[in-house]
């Protein structure tokens, strides 16, 4: 649930494009979109992993 709230606050797509955009631009536009999508998922996962390691949990 925290990832849904985090997407409103943090621009995960911009972060993925910043780190992976240069590499992805070397490929065709279909592969470019795939690489950026995988980068987006990776950034979201790393954010959640960081929160897990810090023992930050959302209790309802």
Reported pTM: 0.82
Tens of pLDDT, residue by residue, the chain (60 residues): 778 888 889 999 899 999 998 888 898 989 999 999 999 999 999 999 999 999 988 877
45-54 pLDDT tens trace: 999 999 999 9
b/e string for 7-22 if b means 16 or more Cβ within 10 A?
eeeeebeebbbeebee
């Amino acid at each position: 649930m925290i990832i849904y709230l985090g997407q409103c606050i943090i621009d995960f797509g911009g972060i993925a494009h910043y780190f992976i955009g240069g590499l992805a631009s070397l490929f065709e536009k279909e592969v470019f979109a795939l690489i950026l999508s995988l980068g987006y998922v990776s950034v979201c996962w790393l954010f959640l992993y960081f929160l897990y390691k810090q023992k930050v949990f959302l209790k309802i």
